[in-house]
Structures are given as C-alpha cells and as structure tokens.
Amino acid sequence: MRKYFGTDGVRGTVNQAPMTAEFALALGRAAGHVLTGHVQHTPSILIGKDTRLSGYMIESALCAGLTAQGMNVLLVGPVPTPAVAYLTRSLRADAGVVLSASHNPAGDNGIKFFAADGFKLPDEVELEIEQKLDNPPPLPPALNIGRAKRIDDAKGRYIEFLKASLPRGLRFDGMKVVVDSANGAAYGVAQRLFVELGCHVTSIFDQPDGLNINKDCGSTAPEVMSRTVLETGADIGFALDGDADRLIVCDEAGRIVDGDRIIAILAEHALQEDRLQGGAVVTTTMSNMGLERYLQARGIDMLRASVGDRYVLEMMRKHGCNIGGEQSGHMILLDYNTTGDGLMTALQLLCAMSDNNRPLSELAADMQLFPQHLWNITLPQRRDVLADAAVQKLIRQAENALQGHGRLNVRMSGTEPKLRIMVEAENDALMQETGNTLYQGIRAIVQA
C-alpha cells in the first residue's frame, strides 16, 4: 500500500504534511539511498520545477537530502515536466525529479520522479523509497556526499528537442498563434519555440510571480485564450497548464478543442501517414463515447485505461500503441517523448493542419460528442467514499436510470481530496437529471 506516493508522485498543500521542507529533506535522503543502491557509480539526479514560490524551498530541501546521501544533483530551474523527462535522458542522469502540482493552485506543490529512461519511476522503486522514509538510512562518510550544480542551457536544449520532432525544414511561416503559458513552466519556452518556427505569436500569461500560476488562466481556464484568438484573428490558440504537460486548444473561431478531439485529430493524421501503431489509441474511462464511435468508423480501436497518465502509459506500452491521452488534454506521444508534452502536442496539431491544408475547425469536424458533465465533491479530508454502501446504492440507481443510453464514472481524484462524478448520455436532459440526482445524493452523505 502506498503511503505517500499517489498516481502522480507526492502532492499536497505547502507547509502541510507531507509537502513540508522537512519531508522534502527526508524524501531526498530516502530517494538518494535507494537510487545509489541501484548503480555502481556515483549517481546523478536532475531537478526541474515550475514557477511556484514554494519551489525554491522544496528544491533546496530535496537537494540537501539527495547530496547528503551521496547523489550529484543537476539543477535546471523552471522548465516543463516533459523537459525534465527529456533532459534526464539527454544528460545521462540516473533519475529526474519535477517539483510541480501541475494544474493545481499556487499553494500546492508536488514531487514526481522519473527513471533514467525518462519514464516514471517504477512502482517497486517508489515503494522502496517509502520504506526508507519510515526507516531513515545511514549517512555516508563526510567526503562521500554529492555535489550540486546548475545547468544553464536547459530551455534551449528542450526547444531544440521539440523542433527536431518535425520534418526537417518544416516551418509555419505566417501562422498566427496565441499561447497561454498559465504563468507556469512554459513561460521561457513556448513563445521562443513558435517564433523560431516562423509563427506570429501572441503570448499571454507569461509573467509568473510565484503566486499566479494557473490563476484564471491555462488549460483549466482557457476562456481568455479563446477571446484573444478572436481579437487577434489567430489561426489557433494553445492553453498549457502549470507544468506544460497538458494542452487545451481552440480553433480560429474561438471554439474549445478538448483532449478527446485532439486525440481524434492526431490519430487520424497518424493513420494517414501510416504512423499509427497497435491499431488503436489509449484513452481513459472519462473519454466521450462520440470519440470511440468516430475512431471505430475509421478502423481505429479505442482502449480505455483508468484515469491518470500513469495508467494510460502502462496500457500504451502493453498494447504497442504510440498515441494516448486524456480528455483533460494530457497527451502522450511515444514517438517523441516518454510523458505528456503539451508543446509537442501543439506542434503535431500544427503539422496536421499544414499537411491537410485545412484550418483546425475542419479537422475531425464530423465527430459528434455525447452530452457529458463532470461534478466534483470536495471532501474535508481524503477518505474512501466509494466504500460506503449508501454511495454504492446511489451509483446503482443512476446506472439503472441511464438504461443503456449512457454511462457514468465515479472515482476518487488521484491528486486532490475530491470525488469526481462523470455522467454521459445520449441527450442532455437525461445526463443532467441523472448527474444532479447522484451529485446531490452523494453530497448529502459526505456532508452528514
């Protein structure tokens, strides 16, 4: 059983357990001890972060624990999460760490590990680290501690990596794009990337102050991005989240394009170019039935994993698929990177538009989505609400109400103390009635 690691590392509110400086120090020592035991040389670990104020505190504490345990630390500063995955491989580090709470508010932070191959640290290694958190390891001799140094060209390295994913010589001259960096980790990368590829760029929310990350901007609040596309006459808008592993898009008319439609566009484009592997794409239980029908009509299977990029990636590797993602905009394109990469996804969408010589609004335009809505119930503390017999009864009643004309998914968030209720149906009235009844019923039980 996991005590500290969730589906996406350790995450929480800063200065509350476990997201404290003391915990970060202890985690650094535990991880340092475990990771040094897996190699025969003095190991190195790379640390990147987003733009949260707390990143300085956690970075310092984690670095102290890692070096105390004998690891050399490479500090790359604020960069996107997918940049850390790439740089860990590129710099031949033995592991990588991202300090970020992704799309969460500025008061939260998280610690997520990558293995040397750029994939997330295996479960068994995370569990080994957890064991050492409860049983602190011995410290090495005084002269066997590690060193820490800064890598100054990390952003430039990542930009070159992104551009190298495109066909040689391809440019997007004249393309007008709006980029919302969510005042997060992409602020020093996104605009440079698109300008270097010939785009006319309007950059918004690119002035982080440590407190404004994800605040009324980014992938969870793309309305300003959409308005800016209309005001500037742009061809496309990109809204990233705080660590730039998610992407929500809007077309030239300002209409939002979520992860399901992005998957459809990328899968169809890959099929056209004979690049689609495994004969399928991997999504989650949250993805719309309309996407499934659209893909099936084109001979593409859709495999559903549990919610969370960890589970999407596991299923992709199991079935040999190279495209997977979540409705939230977290896309994994294994041809290019080992984790979700919002900027890589943006480039592939521009490729699809360029190759088809069509605006975004005309790509996957005939995909009909079923009415779907997500209700969230915030819990006073994390607990297994789904184990409650009364909650299970309400879920069964909701399933019966749908009578085969829709589906629902009720789950605990893997990153926040929230219960999420998704209901999808063939018509809006059935979806709203079923969802509201279930939401009100469970909310009454939780608040009793």
Residues carrying an active site annotation: 102
Q: H or E element: which one contains 346?
A: helix 342-356
- Phi and psi of 99, rounded to 5°? -105, 100
Task: Please name which of 177, 160, 191, 165 lies closest in space to residue 353, comparing C-alpha atoms.
Answer: 177
CA angle at residue 313 from 382 to 32, to 5 degrees? 70
CA 39 to chain centre: 29
Helix H, strand E, coil C: the string for 172-187 is: CCCCEEEEECCCCHHH
Task: Please name which of 415, 402, 408, 413 lies closest in space to residue 377, comparing C-alpha atoms.
Answer: 413
CA atoms of 63 and 21, how far apart (whole Å): 11
| Six token digits for residue 362 | 């005309």
- Phi and psi of 23, rounded to 5°? -70, -40
Residue written as token pair 């308005």: 227
Q: Write out the DSSP string of 79-128.
A: --HHHHHHHHHHTT-SEEEEE--TTS-TTEEEEEEEETTSSBPPHHHHHH
Peptide bond before residue 18 is cis, with ω within 30 degrees of 0? yes
Ranges of beta strands (E only) in 116-234 are 148-150, 176-180, 200-204
| Six token digits for residue 297 | 């009509």
Question: For the chain, what is the total number of helices (H) and then of strands (E)?
Answer: 13, 18
Task: Please name which of 377, 379, 333 lies closest in space to residue 352, comparing C-alpha atoms.
Answer: 333
CA atoms of 129 and 33, how far apart (whole Å): 8
Compute the half-sphere exposure of residue 330: CA atoms within 13 Å on the CB side of its CA: 26
Cβ neighbours of residue 145 closer than 8 Å, sequence gap 6 or more: 67, 68, 69, 70
Beta 301-305 vs 323-325: how paired, if at all?
unpaired
Task: Please name which of 221, 152, 215 lies closest in space to residue 188, comparing C-alpha atoms.
Answer: 152
CA atoms of 133 and 128, how far apart (whole Å): 9
